[in-house]
Amino acid sequence: MPEERWSGFSYIVTNLARFIRPNEVTFSGVNSNLPMMACLLAKDAYDFYFTYINVAGGVDPHPTKVPISSSDPMLAAGTQSIFSNEDFYDLCTRGGMDLCFLGAAQIDGEGQTNVSVIGDWHAPKVRLPGGGGGAVMLPTARRSCTWRTEHSPRVLVEQLDFVTASGGMHGLVTPIAVFVKRDGRLVLQSWHPEKTLDEVIARTGFPIDGKGATPTPPPTAREQAALAALDLAGAFEEAAHVTLD
Amino acid sequence: MPEERWSGFSYIVTNLARFIRPNEVTFSGVNSNLPMMACLLAKDAYDFYFTYINVAGGVDPHPTKVPISSSDPMLAAGTQSIFSNEDFYDLCTRGGMDLCFLGAAQIDGEGQTNVSVIGDWHAPKVRLPGGGGGAVMLPTARRSCTWRTEHSPRVLVEQLDFVTASGGMHGLVTPIAVFVKRDGRLVLQSWHPEKTLDEVIARTGFPIDGKGATPTPPPTAREQAALAALDLAGAFEEAAHVTLD
Amino acid sequence: MVLSAKDKIVSLSELAALITDGSSLALGGSFLHRGPFALVRELIRQGRRGLELIKQSPGYDIDLLCRAGALRRTRAGIVAMEGNFGLARWYRQAVESGQIELEEHACATITAGLRAAAFGIPFQPCGGLQGSALPALNGWKSCEDPYGSRRDVWLIPPIAPDFAIIHANAVSRSGDARVLGTAHWDRIMTRAAKKVLVVAEELLPDESFRERPELTLVPHFMVEAVAVVPRGAWPGSCWPHYEIDYPAVEAYVAETDSDLSGHLAAAPEARVSANA
Amino acid sequence: MVLSAKDKIVSLSELAALITDGSSLALGGSFLHRGPFALVRELIRQGRRGLELIKQSPGYDIDLLCRAGALRRTRAGIVAMEGNFGLARWYRQAVESGQIELEEHACATITAGLRAAAFGIPFQPCGGLQGSALPALNGWKSCEDPYGSRRDVWLIPPIAPDFAIIHANAVSRSGDARVLGTAHWDRIMTRAAKKVLVVAEELLPDESFRERPELTLVPHFMVEAVAVVPRGAWPGSCWPHYEIDYPAVEAYVAETDSDLSGHLAAAPEARVSANA
């Protein structure tokens, strides 16, 4: 990774990490390698403490390596408690989860998500993984963020094929843009400095105007170093298949 | 304890134990020394296995001494699992508790109980311990049994001062009588052989006729030996203050 | 460069000072077993007033608070001293005289209310209760099964104590709380309360928690503050550390006036600070 | 003269034989982690048909059952192979072709349904779900808070699987099941099911359970039968015994026809019995 430049992979992981705030309880779940890396990156790169809990039952774990599966028991290595699935869901529904990373296949302009189906639910073109955490966590976590490795009108849509989860994402990161919620809508916060605002707008299926958005500040030296340490061999970057196009 | 004779204390403990059946899940709770001793007696005196769970989290425990408190952690000594309070209540409400020993201050002829108050709830003559396990366990356990160390019209009543728990006891043991439920009513099953049927009827506040009842069979040698082993110094018998009058 | 969770260890008096007059407290343990009794005594020493106690099976704790005049209200399932000590005299007197308000529960309805709070839902259905006079007494609502089973069920409203306070066997500096043996009702209390305070028998190094994280009942991030008070569950038991101090309970029960100074002075935490 | 609980150890094939065609099965673990996979394979070897799988996060297990044509229905939260393997192909095909019926849940609504069964209540309110199309899809009912909070809540009907089957780290002869690390959803599954079966990595003496009874997730009396199958969670992980066997999962995923004989023969339990 050339200095101070983003790859699509580093862009997603680092900008997800930037949503993490001091002293908050932050959660990463299954099928969530990039948020898992974002949480581990933030622990290393930022000068504040936050609580990192995950679907493997770990609370501020000390993994001796980064697992391929984001629900791997390695994510509970060195934990001082096991916080099992029932427990973190209850924490969320009672309002104790500050930041939740939740996957999505399609996202609309209100930050609703579809993880269920492409096409009609009863006659699916593609059967997707399904409900998962979102339908319950998205409306109850204080903030939720999502990510996509593809930025196109087929994933950032005007109209979801199915509303699996509502309640609205606080943030969304793609390989070329960062969105945040303002007045109930996802709006562009910043874009990949090697792309243009026009391209981002054109590739976003829901309407955005880009007002107030700026090019995304480059990765800091500590963010870069932390990510490099997590992905020494580049295997995670390779597996993620993130392109800017 | 003279051979083959009942004391009030041995009568209650042993006849409670006789309600325990092979392979069933049997529970004793707080404030329940006599059922606790009944369960321990049954483990020793009877040739069948049953699961004994208790409020200390014990499952088939191996206590090294009999505790004074029936919720003492000693009742979890040697257990192979901890079955905590939420767990055994849920077991009961979903229908998995076969036999529950539940305390009572007053019992009526339907086997309903009052553990709340003597007098008017809002202007109590005596404030009793309160709701406890009964209101939820009595209607949901497959069978429940209770005991009183006093047999009088003021505890076996026509009309409860307050219906804390309904659903009906399967069995009741006093120092002089054993009752079982038949057609929704507590009826006399047997009486202390040193007492008369007339005395039992006279001292019972709810109507019974004694039809089909017999003198209680004497304690077996094994029941006597098991109880003697549990109360070597006679301290439990002394503390229980059970008289036949 | 990973930063640790903050150190949450405070003194017993600092822990008690976090609790203001009028707070509702869920207290861990059951009867004379593993209750946060040192904290209860410290609240009395500090003159706290108007408290509400929420517990399925209070005993020594509620009796002490009634005797000190510190209690205004309780939601309780079953109240007794237990262990052959029978009823809790000062509690009984407080209810009979109207000194405190009682919301009488079954143990399981306290749990249901705590579950409603812990699960973030407006009510929790509770099994049983058929024919009991308790639901009407408390104005609970029932509901027919909308799925057609024809089973009615009672709905218990949420119980969200201001504080859950438990006595743990061990803590880490950052507040992980380990409990051995039965957890009594501590698990659901700590999930339902707005804040969690822990009194612990001993402080153990982080390594000990990392070796057996399954024994941690409350993870550090849910815990506000911790005081390490050896023998803090006295005169009750804290398995496997110590059993009930029966002579001490007998002495407590034998006292007939409300003056608690002798009893409070005899407590382990008082003798330690007197020596310090 | 105290009699012990009975010995519940059986062979894997005897364990699988307890499950009849058409049964509903809650399977423990999550995705590739600590699932009772040896048992799933044995059901396929025995030609079981018409099964229902109930699980918040099935993956390899559901894919295998779909590929073998053993499944008729599922209630599931999120289905994937995970660990960079993406969607579960045979599952996807089975749903898209109508070969199996899907009742799509959020993970937490499966849990709510299991809680309703575990608590013996006709429904369990579940937080969240606002704005989701899932409740309407499934015909779930909502209810206004009778206590006036104006919060509506969705009510999930009970889910009581015929069997809960978990893969434990260790068992005792009488069936106590110890789980290390996260329990995933195993706790509530074992409380909701009509019967509990356990596959375990190893058999340990009773003394080991008596030393640390807190680690026992399922007490023996709730367990019907147990098979001891080392590496039974293969090709998934069973912490701390072993990690995911990635080459084995890659080989499974790379196969394009439904013939499972090679994969089944490569499983540890097959190689052991071939050697025996």
Q: Which whole number is the average pLDDT over C175-191?
A: 98
- Third-level CATH fold of A8-237: Glutaconate Coenzyme A-transferase (3.40.1080)
Per-domain residue ranges of chain D: 12-122+157-268
* DSSP states along C149-193: ---EEEEEPP---SEEEEEEEEE-TT--EE--S--TTHHHHHHHS
Beta bridge partners of D103: D75
Q: Which residues contact D261 (CB under 8 A, 6 or more apart)?
A: none
Q: Write the pLDDT tens digit of every residue in B134-186.
A: 999 999 999 999 999 999 999 999 999 999 999 999 999 999 999 999 999 99
Burial A153-164 (b: 16+ CB within 10 A, else e): eebbbeebbbbb
User: Which residue in chain C has the smallest CA separation from B104?
Assistant: C78
Task: For residue D89, give how far its alpha carbon lies from the nearest alpha carbon of chain C (Å).
Answer: 34
- What confidence score (pLDDT) does residue B2 get? 46
Predicted confidence (pLDDT) at residue C1 exceeds the cutoff of 90: no
Peptide linkage before C247 cis (omega within 30 of 0): no
Count, residues in chain B: 245
CB-CB neighbors (< 8 A) of D181 in chain A: 56-57, 73, 76, 82
Q: Write the pLDDT tens digit of every residue in D264-276.
A: 999 999 987 766 5
Closest to C5 (Cβ–Cβ): which among A57, A60, A140? A60
> How far, in Å, CA of A120 to CA of A133, rounded?
21
Q: From the CB coordinates, do chains A and D have 3 or more pairs under 8 Å? A: yes
Predicted confidence (pLDDT) at residue C273 exceeds the cutoff of 80: no
| Chain D interface test: which of B26, B64, B80 (most D C-beta within 10 Å) | B80
DSSP-derived pairing of the beta strands B113-114 and C51-55? unpaired
User: Which residue in chain A has the smallest CA separation from D93?
Assistant: A127
Q: Whose structure tokens read 């391929």?
A: A68
Task: For residue C249, give how far its alpha carbon lies from the nearest alpha carbon of chain D (Å).
Answer: 29
Chains in touch with C (≥3 Cβ pairs < 8 A): A, B, D
Closest to B132 (Cβ–Cβ): which among C77, C111, C244? C77
Predicted confidence (pLDDT) at residue A2 exceeds the cutoff of 70: no
Q: Write the pLDDT tens digit of every residue in D214-271.
A: 999 999 999 999 999 999 999 999 999 999 999 999 999 999 999 999 999 999 999 8
Give, in order, the Cα–Cα distances in Å from D151 to each of A138, C122, D126, D145.
17, 7, 12, 6
Residues with pLDDT less than 50, chain B: 1-2
Task: For residue B104, give how far its alpha carbon lies from the nearest alpha carbon of chain D (Å).
Answer: 24
Instruction: Read off the pLDDT band of C142 (50, 70, 90).
Output: very high
Give D58's DSSP letter: -
Strand boundaries in chain D, DSSP class E: 9-10, 24-27, 51-55, 71-76, 101-104, 124-126, 141-144, 152-156, 163-171, 177-178, 195-203, 216-218, 223-228
User: How far is C-alpha D90 from the chain's CA centre?
Assistant: 18
Predicted confidence (pLDDT) at residue A72 exceeds the cutoff of 90: yes
> How far, in Å, CA of C255 to CA of C262, rounded?
10
ipTM: 0.98
Q: From the CB coordinates, do chains D and C have 3 or more pairs under 8 Å? A: yes
Q: Write the pLDDT tens digit of every residue in A134-157.
A: 999 999 999 999 999 999 999 999
- What confidence score (pLDDT) does residue D276 get? 57
Peptide linkage before D235 cis (omega within 30 of 0): yes
Q: Write the pLDDT tens digit of every residue in C69-116.
A: 999 999 999 999 987 888 999 999 999 999 999 999 999 999 999 999
- A127·D129 Cβ contact <8 A: no
Residue pair C116/C155 in contact (Cβ under 8 Å)? The answer is no
Q: Which residues contact C255 (CB under 8 A, 6 or more apart)?
A: C262, C263
Predicted confidence (pLDDT) at residue A20 exceeds the cutoff of 70: yes
Q: Dihedral sign, CA of B73, B74, B78, B83?
A: negative
The helix (run of H) or strand (run of E) holding residue C144 is strand C141-144
Residue pair A79/A59 in contact (Cβ under 8 Å)? The answer is yes
> How far, in Å, CA of D166 to CA of D28, rounded?
4
Q: Report the CATH superfamily, name and number, of domain D12-122+157-268.
A: Glutaconate Coenzyme A-transferase (3.40.1080.10)
Per-domain residue ranges of chain A: 8-237
> How far, in Å, CA of A226 to CA of A42, rounded?
8
Q: Write the pLDDT tens digit of every residue in D72-97.
A: 999 999 999 987 888 999 999 999 99
Percentage above 70 pLDDT, chain D: 99
- D128·A30 Cβ contact <8 A: no
SS3 C14: helix
User: Which residue in chain B has the smallest CA separation from D179?
Assistant: B81
DSSP-derived pairing of the beta strands B156-157 and B106-108? parallel
Q: Which whole number is the average pLDDT over D91-113?
A: 98
> How far, in Å, CA of B201 to CA of B213, rounded?
11
Predicted confidence (pLDDT) at residue C123 exceeds the cutoff of 80: yes
Predicted confidence (pLDDT) at residue D62 exceeds the cutoff of 80: yes
Residue pair A108/A160 in contact (Cβ under 8 Å)? The answer is yes
CB-CB neighbors (< 8 A) of D214 in chain C: 180-181, 214-215
Instruction: Read off the pLDDT band of C275 (50, 70, 90).
Output: low
Predicted confidence (pLDDT) at residue D199 exceeds the cutoff of 90: yes
Predicted confidence (pLDDT) at residue A4 exceeds the cutoff of 90: no
Q: Which among A102, A100, A104 has a CA at the least distance from the CA of A160?
A: A104
Instruction: Read off the pLDDT band of A1 (50, 70, 90).
Output: very low
- What confidence score (pLDDT) does residue D1 get? 65
- D105·A70 Cβ contact <8 A: no
Percentage above 90 pLDDT, chain A: 96
